[in-house]
Structure 1
Amino acid sequence: MDITAPRFTNEDAAREHLEALRWPDGPFCPHCGSFSAKRLPPQRGRKTKAHPEGALRKGVVQCNDCREQFTVTVGTLFESSKVPLHKWVLATFLLCSSKRGMSGHQLARMLGVTQKTAWFMSHRIRESMRPAEGEPPLGGEGKTVEADETFIGGKEKNRHKSKRATRRLGGSWGKETVFSLVERDGKVRSTHVQSVTAANLKPILVEQIDAATTLCTDDAGQYRHMHRAFKHEIVNHSAGEYVRGTAHTNTVEGYFSIFKRGVVGTYYHMSPKHLHRYCVEFDFRYNTRKDNDFERCEQALKGITGKRLTYRRADHIGA
């Protein structure tokens, strides 16, 4: 796909593209939900030093019922942003099409914005990748879900002595834990957990997996009693067993290899405060792996609705 396409370089083309995605049946009012609206000619905004006559507002629509005015970005992650809309669309495409992610510095260079702005944008795009509420559980009758955990963080020996962490129950030295569930030939769901104990993991398993599912795990102690909730198959890694018939955890480990490439080769460090959002990013790309880059970008752009986040909340996204 050509990143010099009009919607990536022109504000009007980007707005028309977003309108086609969000309003396939015509404009609808984000204030009252009415589909009765009319387009207005370009409007002048408030007068400022930069725009003495008022900035020209294009794409303004007025609801015929509540009389409120709005544009396609109202009620979305892009609302009231000073970043041009075509840069938002391009940033979304770049993040969706980069298998191992894209750093804030690289995104800033390609968009012509500051690193701080690129970081701000990338976290909001990850928010658009978050799955919708009420998605059905993974698995089902005749299906298999693999569960495993991985640890994110640098080597403890590389830390200064004063920075070294104490070992947490079920955790690793100074590292953060990501617990993932992968349905074979299906989707993945990852969660940032404090520790890999049965008390922490079982509620996630019960909530996210259908009871009729076959669960495959390794022989770790936290999975010892999962046969009470699922048909449970175990591969004994400690004895050198990695595959026994259809029992294995190779699919989830393959997902972790992609995740780790993103950590080691692109992001280098993921703050514990924002780790859950990086999990959403890698889950989204894995779950849309059969789509092309254009389709994946469109799906992310459709996910911006109803997720307004302001800059002051940047450090508390998803908290």
Structure 2
Amino acid sequence: MTNLTDPMFHDEDKARAHLEAIRWPHGPNCPHCGNIDPDKIAKVEGKKQTHRKGLYYCNECGGQFTVTVGSVMERSKVPLSKWVFAFHLFAASKKGMSAHQLHRMLGVTYKTAWFMAHRIREAMKEDVKSSGPLGGEGKTVEADETYIGKRETPRVSAQRKGRPFTKKGKSGGAQKRIVVGLVERGGKARMFHLNDATKDTVRDVLVRNADRKSTLYTDESRLYTETGKEYAAHGTVKHSAKEYVRYEGEKVVHSNTIENVFSVFKRGMIGVYQHCGEAHLHRYLAEFDFRYNRRTALKVSDRERAEDAIRGASGKRLTYNQTGEAGHA
């Protein structure tokens, strides 16, 4: 449980010390040249205090830096105590923290809160390449797709000569945003926003993110029929016949774990965020993945989750142009 009276949420010096302890556990390192030699890094101090607090000087490259340089917090004028508080709010809120709520709790403008929220989501984004695929020999991976919100770029049907795709006169899920999710039982989850859910696009997500030595469990969707043959085993449950779990000796065939991941995600998107631009959906997916992968069931506390997010802020920058489109710097 987060102690909201903790000095790091209210005192700038305490917040700075907290950030430095997380980002620089072995002492300051220069983000400009990578120098970590403590004898070549000096803290800029003086009686007049005309410089920024927490400023360091690198004798190797001559650069100056603070703890926010080289992170999503760089060049931000928001007090560090509010940044630390925002990271904790995002880490502790199971279904998310809206920019409006952040704006009210931090006492910053809505525009600032929205920008902070997206920067924190960028910090929460995990590098799937370095963490490797889910599952493995003797392990189980569940896969499923879900549909949420209305597409901003309507899907067209070639058979209907470019007109929007419909089924029985209704667009149904064809005009909704597509999210494909994978979860390793007892392990981590990953969700991806796809423009189209086809056998090829879903296979690409599966083979890149789930070890083919795993046992794969899905529903009866034909999206997984052929790809499932590439895995050690592929079991399905028939939801259309109201089958949600099946026992085959010691094996328990179901896709309820990934359904639970989607459940928390949808409750957050509908109940907390309410509206999400399609261009930003991948950031919200990263946010929910981050919290699920550090859930309480894995004995991860709110504080540890927030500290992990702050570590993830290193080496990332996120900027937006006047149209609100995301870019990296």
The TM-score with structure 2 as length reference comes to 0.86
Relative distance call for 1:60 and 1:32 in structure 2 (3 A) is same
Relative distance call for 1:43 and 1:181 in structure 2 (3 A) is farther
3-state DSSP of counterpart to 1:251: helix
Aligned partner of 2:237 in structure 1 is 235
Shift of 1:311: 3.9
Answering whether residue 81 of structure 2 is matched by residue 86 of structure 1, we say yes
Shift of 1:239: 2.3
Flag structure 1 segments of 5+ consecutive residues without an equivalent.
46-53, 156-164
3-state DSSP of counterpart to 1:145: strand
3-state DSSP of counterpart to 1:182: strand
Give the superposed CA RMSD: 2.2
Aligned partner of 1:112 in structure 2 is 107
Distance 2:79 2:325 in 1: 23
Distance 2:228 2:26 in 1: 49
Aligned partner of 1:143 in structure 2 is 139
**Would the aligned equivalents of 1:43 and 1:60 in 2 still touch at CA under 8 Å?**
no
Answering whether residue 294 of structure 2 is matched by residue 288 of structure 1, we say yes
3-state DSSP of counterpart to 2:130: coil
Aligned residues: 300
Relative distance call for 1:222 and 1:57 in structure 2 (3 A) is same
Aligned partner of 1:315 in structure 2 is 325
Shift of 1:42: 5.4
Answering whether residue 64 of structure 2 is matched by residue 64 of structure 1, we say no
Instruction: State which of 264, 272, 276 in structure 1 corresponds to 2:270.
Output: 264
Distance 1:26 1:218 in 2: 51
Aligned partner of 1:49 in structure 2 is none
Indicate the percent of aligned positions where both proteins have the same amino acid: 51
Shift of 1:4: 2.6
3-state DSSP of counterpart to 1:222: coil
3-state DSSP of counterpart to 2:182: strand
Shift of 1:317: 4.7
Distance 1:140 1:83 in 2: 44
**Would the aligned equivalents of 2:72 and 2:314 in 1 still touch at CA under 8 Å?**
yes
Aligned partner of 2:33 in structure 1 is 32
Distance 1:316 1:31 in 2: 24
Show the 5 A alignment for 1:35-184: 35-36=36-37, 37-41=41-45, 56-132=51-127, 133-153=129-149, 166-167=164-165, 172-184=173-185
Shift of 1:154: 6.3
What code does the residue aligned with 2:136 have?
G
Deviations 1:142-198 (A, max 9, x none): 10000001111169xxxxxxxxx9337998143111110011000000000112210
Aligned partner of 2:310 in structure 1 is 301
Relative distance call for 1:224 and 1:3 in structure 2 (3 A) is same
**Would the aligned equivalents of 2:150 and 2:177 in 1 still touch at CA under 8 Å?**
no
3-state DSSP of counterpart to 1:307: coil
Distance 1:240 1:269 in 2: 32
Aligned partner of 2:160 in structure 1 is none
**Would the aligned equivalents of 1:190 and 1:283 in 2 still touch at CA under 8 Å?**
yes
Show the 5 A alignment for 1:172-251: 172-230=173-231, 231-245=233-247, 246-251=252-257
Runs (4+) of structure 1 exceeding 4 A deviation are 42-45, 168-171
Distance 2:131 2:94 in 1: 24
What code does the residue aligned with 1:98 have?
S
Aligned partner of 2:155 in structure 1 is none
Shift of 1:201: 0.4
3-state DSSP of counterpart to 2:31: coil
Shift of 1:244: 1.3
What code does the residue aligned with 1:191 have?
F
Distance 1:69 1:42 in 2: 15
Distance 2:263 2:58 in 1: 50
3-state DSSP of counterpart to 1:241: coil
The TM-score with structure 1 as length reference comes to 0.89
Deviations 1:113-162 (A, max 9, x none): 1111111000000000011342210000010000001111169xxxxxxx
Deviations 1:23-65 (A, max 9, x none): 11111111121123111115989xxxxxxxx6x4111111122
Flag structure 2 segments of 5+ consecutive residues without an equivalent.
152-162
Distance 2:190 2:327 in 1: 19
